[in-house]
């Protein structure tokens, strides 16, 4: 009998600890994977028990009884269209700026320069809106630098006595930052690097 008992003890010791208490190995749950905006949006649309004005508007366009993947694909398309419209607003503003700039260069009219500068302010706002929309969708890494590179906006035109040639020669010297801002920190050190 002692031999059998020794074998049993030996067998129990050799087995992993979790086998003594559980039939299957324990699972380790890490942090949940963050959902993409269209995935969480599709789940919110599918859950008809939750009501708010935004979900109701989306439910009017996208059928909540559809498969989750179908709703996700439709939302991706809608997001893409919205980003495209915002990009077109920026490009349209740049085209209007260029037209006013040409009028100013040909005539030297201060009113054309003023209209150019006003259109420039609107275009800067459109570009900022594009950055915000891209971040809301999930383009977080390098978003600012990408948009600023793809949609450069020229400087203001001189209004009044100053000459355009003088303004183009006077390029402002870039100040070296001693301390960066929050965007610099996210780009260099943030959680995505």
Residue pLDDT, tens place only, 88-140:
999 999 999 999 999 999 998 899 999 999 999 999 999 999 999 998 888 87
Domain boundaries, the chain: 37-160
Question: Which DSSP category does 125 fall into?
Answer: H
What's the CA angle centered on 9, arms 4 and 13, to 5 degrees?
150
Cβ contact 39:79 at 8 Å: no
What pLDDT score does 106 carry?
A: 92
Task: Using a cut of 0.85, tell me whether the model's pTM lies above it.
Answer: no
17-74, pLDDT tens digit by residue? 555 555 555 565 555 566 676 677 777 777 777 778 877 877 777 777 776 777 778 8
Cβ contact 43:68 at 8 Å: yes
What pLDDT score does 144 carry?
A: 87
């Amino acid at each position: 009998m002692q031999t059998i008992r020794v074998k049993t003890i030996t067998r129990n010791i050799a087995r992993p600890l979790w086998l003594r208490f559980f039939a299957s190995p324990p699972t380790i749950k890490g942090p949940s994977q963050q959902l993409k905006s269209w995935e969480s949006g599709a789940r919110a649309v599918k859950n008809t028990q939750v009501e708010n004005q935004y979900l109701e508007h989306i439910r009017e366009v996208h059928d909540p009884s559809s498969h989750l993947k179908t709703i996700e694909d439709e939302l991706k398309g809608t997001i893409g269209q919205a980003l495209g419209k915002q990009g077109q607003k920026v490009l349209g503003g740049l085209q209007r700026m260029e037209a006013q700039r040409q009028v100013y260069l040909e005539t030297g009219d201060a009113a054309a320069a003023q209209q150019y500068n006003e259109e420039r302010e609107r275009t800067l706002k459109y570009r900022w809106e594009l950055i915000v929309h891209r971040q809301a969708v999930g383009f977080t890494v390098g978003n600012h630098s990408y948009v600023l590179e793809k949609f450069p906006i020229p400087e203001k035109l001189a209004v009044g006595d100053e000459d355009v040639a003088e303004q183009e020669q006077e390029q402002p010297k870039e100040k070296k930052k001693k301390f960066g801002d929050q965007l610099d920190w996210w780009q260099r050190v943030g959680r995505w690097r």
